[in-house]
Amino acid sequence: MAALGEEFTLSAEALFAGPDGLLGVEPSDKTDHFLVTDRSRTVVLYKVSDQKPLGSWSVKQGQIITCPAVCNYQTGEHIVVHDNKVLRIWNNEDVNLDKVFKATLSAEVHKIHSIQGTEPLVLFEGGAVRGLEALLAEPQQKIEKVICDGEVIKWTKFFVVFRHPVLVFITEKDGNHYAYVQMFNSRNLSKYSLLLGQEEKSVTLNFTAYVDRKFISLMSLSSDGCIYETLIPIYPGDTEKNQRLVRSLLLKAVVSGITRNGVTLTALDQDHVAVLGPPLPSSKECLSIWNIKFQTLQTSKELPQGTSGQLWFYGENLFMLHGKCLTVVPYKCGSSSLAGALGKLKHTQDTGTQTMPHFVNWEMSQGCGLGSPNSEQPRILRRKKTEISLQPEVPASEQLLSTIKSGSEKHIEVELRKFLAKWTPDFHTAIGDILTGLLGRCKAEPSFYPQNCLMQLIQTHVLSYSLCPGLMDTALEKTDVQMLQLCLQQFPDIPESVTCACLKTFLSNTEQDEKMEEQSEILRNGFNAEKNYSNHNRDLSKKPQDSTEETSSCPVIPKRAALLRNAILHSAYSETFLLPHLKDLPAQDITLFLQYLYFLYLKCSENATMTLPGIHPPTLSQIMDWICLLLDANFTVVLMIPEAKRLLINLYKFVKSQISVYSELNKIEVSFREIQKLNQEKNNTGLYSIEVLELF
């Protein structure tokens, strides 16, 4: 639950807050220290918890600070710009701003951005961006103009995304807004025009943004009182200039619709946004925290003395100008948990001790500490661990590992066979290490692919997908169908995306088939039957059966059919995760797969027991599940494919006929149920009976 704490003010005598409020509040290099820049000449460094200023600096009379002071985290110095072009850099010890380092630039600065861990960036009014170091090396360098004439920068924000600095700024020209995303490392500038959607009348008042994985979520507050969201991709898909982005409505009527200056918003985290403004036209201004995920108002605070319409949020504090005073409102968003609400969450986290599980823990036995418990992708964690554990203590596996690093394929195979012959207590871990070693070398040397070794390792039955995540990827890369099939059969925990990738490989590649024909040695078990069977099908299909003729022959050649049948259809999956991946299948593959499933369905329904021959035949329900899934995922696509039309019609006809058969069966079943009821009634005697009881 988000909550606002008790507000407090920072002593304001040193500040001159004009009608437009302050120039800016920026964090300093020490926690709890903030630089406040006012509209005229003064920069004040505050320690918020003490509510008092630590230092104050002013520029000379006649000069005006034009850009809020920031802290250079790399040096601990403060930077400010006055009179648009003059850069001042000073330390806490400096007293007079006139005597500190000064650099006059060739263009007007819009704003300086500084974030912990990166070099400060200077954004010029023309849209150009420079690193501070580069700029100071040659202050008078030529600054190009990026944005068009008449465009004015309205709002800027600086992010660090995956350790890459990204600067976003919004410009306005003739009522239209444009978003620029500047990737500082790649020097890549993308421009987007922001479209309003249907509500043409509204004027966008304010912006805020946060990074949501691959997107910057830009939220804008409109004059109609609603918050809109625009997703800006961080990594542009194509370099086409001037892409358009449409905003979508996120929250309705958070502030009253009157266009007023004192309205602003700030994103607090992914789910929460703070809005400053009057909730009703007549009411006083309010600071409200909204949960955008659930669209609920979490908390609000009335600000009767009015604000300047500015709101800054750093760490746990919200800063605003309330009346004439700079006010700090602590904000806290504890994680609310259902378990907590139900009273079942007993352990408290502050004890810091982790109880040891009673069963043997894989990860513990490898001697690796746990990462943060909230990691979203445990698989990645696991992968890291296996990489770390490449230096095991066991000499045999260590020896083998060193062989893997340099030895020839043959040599490795011999060594591996020796190793597998004897069983060691940490067999599992050793196998994992060896496999990781092999895969590592595969990656390093594209020509190196010890298929036999890998197969042998898989057949030890101790591996799972999560133990060697790279294995199937490598096999997919090499389109090693045999290996994939073996993996599908052996691994219990293959993610749906990989299952789908396998399916794609099986369906799309044709040259593999010939190769497989040669290597039928390993695949033999159970598939000969299939071969005969499909020959038999072909015989059947030769009979005049007009409509079903096309589909009753197996659409895929027997080997591949076997693969599909035995591996994919049997694999474990969860519908929700599989569906999105199925959608990615190309249309041609969908048709082929659907054809094949239809074929299986027909074959299955032909005999009374509804089973297919062979060693591991898919069951009817598995076939039905896959048909449903495939149609679910791609129905619109399938409808569009002309080749699939016939197939769909046939499938529909067949399903219809099946349904009529089953409804008849249903009738019979009802009659039989009556018989059972009769039997029950015999037991359920009336009010009085004499029965025989024998006790044994």
Partner 1 sequence: MGEFKVHRVRFFNYVPPGIRCVAYNNQSNRLAVSRTDGTVEIYNLSANYFQEKFFPGHESRATEALCWAEGQRLFSAGLNGEILEYDLQALNIKYAMDAFGGPIWSMIASPSGSQLLVGCEDGSVKLFQITPDKIQFERNFDPQKSRVLSLSWHPSGTHIAAGSIDYISVFDVKSGSAIHKMIVDRQYMGVSKRKCIVWGVAFLSDGTVISVDSAGKVQFWDSATGTLVKSHLIANADVQSIAVADQEDSFVVGTAEGTVFHFQLVSVTSNSTEKQWVRTKPFQHHTHDVRTVAHSPTALISGGTDTHLVIRPLMEKVEVKNYDAALRKITFPHRRLISCSRKRQLLLFQFAHHLELWRLGSTAATGKNGDILPLSKNADHLLHLKTKGPENIICSSISPCGSWIAYSTASRVFLYRLNYEHDNISLQRISKMPAFLRSALQILFSEDSTKLFVASNQGSLHIIRLLEGSFKHLHTFQPQSGTVEAMCLLAVSPDGNWLAASGTSAGVHVYNVKHLKLHCTVPAYNFPVTALAIAPNTNNLVIAHSDQQVFEYSIPDKQYTEWSRNVQKQGFHHLWLQRDTPITHISFHPKRPMHILLHDAYMFCIIDKSLPLPNDKTVLYNPLPPTNESDVFRRRTGHAFKISKIYKPLLFMDLLDEGTLVAVERPLDDIIAQLPPPIKKKKFGT
List the one residue from 203, 246, 345, 370 that touches partner 1 (CB under 8 A).
Answer: 345
**The two structure tokens encoding residue 137:** 């090396």
Residue with smaller CB distance to partner 1, 248 or 355: 355
Distance separating alpha carbons of residues 58 and 62, to the nearest angstrom: 11
Least Å distance, CB 377 to partner 1, is 24
Residue with smaller CB distance to partner 1, 336 or 636: 336
Measured between alpha carbons, how far is residue 36 from residues 24, 39, 57, 361 in Å? 6, 10, 11, 52
x/- letters, 625..664, toward partner 1 (CB under 8 A): ----------------------------------------
Q: How many CB atoms lie within 10 A of CB 397?
A: 22
List the one residue from 1, 628, 659, 665 that touches partner 1 (CB under 8 A).
Answer: 1
List the one residue from 6, 174, 350, 521 that touches partner 1 (CB under 8 A).
Answer: 350
Counting contacts by CB under 8 A, is residue 349 touching partner 1? yes
Phi and psi based region of residue 547 (left: phi greater than 0; alpha: psi -120 to 50; beta: remaining): alpha
List the one residue from 137, 341, 356, 421 that touches partner 1 (CB under 8 A).
Answer: 341
Residue with smaller CB distance to partner 1, 391 or 689: 689
List the one residue from 198, 335, 355, 609 that touches partner 1 (CB under 8 A).
Answer: 335
Residues 6+ positions from 622 with CB-CB distance below 8 Å: 569, 570
Window of 9-17, 358-366, 418-426, 683-691 that interacts with partner 1 by CB under 8 A: 683-691
Task: Identify the CA nearest to 626 among candidates 580, 655, 593.
Answer: 593
Counting contacts by CB under 8 A, is residue 296 touching partner 1? no
Least Å distance, CB 575 to partner 1, is 23
Phi, psi angle pair for 72, to nearest 5°: -90, 105
**The two structure tokens encoding residue 84:** 């648009």
List the one residue from 294, 359, 423, 696 that touches partner 1 (CB under 8 A).
Answer: 696
Q: Which amino acid is at 468?
A: C
Residues 6+ positions from 194 with CB-CB distance below 8 Å: 170, 176, 177, 178, 179, 204, 218, 220, 230, 245, 247
**Could you tell me if 43 and 56 are in contact, meaning their C-beta atoms sit under 8 angstroms apart?**
yes
Counting contacts by CB under 8 A, is residue 421 touching partner 1? no
Residue with smaller CB distance to partner 1, 126 or 330: 330
Which residue is listed with tokens 């990781």?
A: 436
Residues 6+ positions from 73 with CB-CB distance below 8 Å: 29, 114, 115, 116, 117, 118
Least Å distance, CB 342 to partner 1, is 6
Which residue is listed with tokens 């593959």?
A: 589
Is the four-CA dihedral 454, 459, 460, 462 of positive or negative sign? positive
Residue with smaller CB distance to partner 1, 145 or 332: 332
Counting contacts by CB under 8 A, is residue 353 touching partner 1? no
Least Å distance, CB 337 to partner 1, is 6
Residue with smaller CB distance to partner 1, 18 or 340: 340
Counting contacts by CB under 8 A, is residue 693 touching partner 1? yes
Counting contacts by CB under 8 A, is residue 343 touching partner 1? yes
**Could you tell me if 45 and 32 are in contact, meaning their C-beta atoms sit under 8 angstroms apart?**
no
Window of 136-144, 287-295, 335-343, 500-508 that interacts with partner 1 by CB under 8 A: 335-343
Counting contacts by CB under 8 A, is residue 374 touching partner 1? no
Task: Identify the CA nearest to 485 among candidates 438, 527, 533, 442.
Answer: 527
CA–CA–CA angle 675, 680, 684 (5° rounding): 145
Window of 24-32, 175-183, 344-352, 624-632 that interacts with partner 1 by CB under 8 A: 344-352
Counting contacts by CB under 8 A, is residue 690 touching partner 1? yes
Counting contacts by CB under 8 A, is residue 334 touching partner 1? yes
Window of 120-128, 185-193, 329-337, 400-408 that interacts with partner 1 by CB under 8 A: 329-337
List the one residue from 61, 248, 348, 671 that touches partner 1 (CB under 8 A).
Answer: 348
Least Å distance, CB 281 to partner 1, is 28
Least Å distance, CB 332 to partner 1, is 11
Counting contacts by CB under 8 A, is residue 691 touching partner 1? yes
Counting contacts by CB under 8 A, is residue 6 touching partner 1? no
Counting contacts by CB under 8 A, is residue 337 touching partner 1? yes
Cβ-based burial of 514 (10 A; exposed 0-12, middle 13-18, buried ≥19): exposed
Least Å distance, CB 445 to partner 1, is 51
**Could you tell me if 331 and 2 are in contact, meaning their C-beta atoms sit under 8 angstroms apart?**
yes
Window of 121-129, 166-174, 232-240, 679-687 that interacts with partner 1 by CB under 8 A: 679-687
Distance separating alpha carbons of residues 289 and 298, to the nearest angstrom: 5
Q: What is the torsion angle, in degrees rounded to the nearest 10, for the CA atoms of residue 475, residue 478, residue 482 and residue 488?
A: 30
Counting contacts by CB under 8 A, is residue 356 touching partner 1? no
Phi and psi based region of residue 548 (left: phi greater than 0; alpha: psi -120 to 50; beta: remaining): alpha
Q: Which residues of the shown chain bind partner 1 in the complex (CB under 8 A)?
A: 1, 334-337, 339-343, 345, 347-350, 682, 685-696
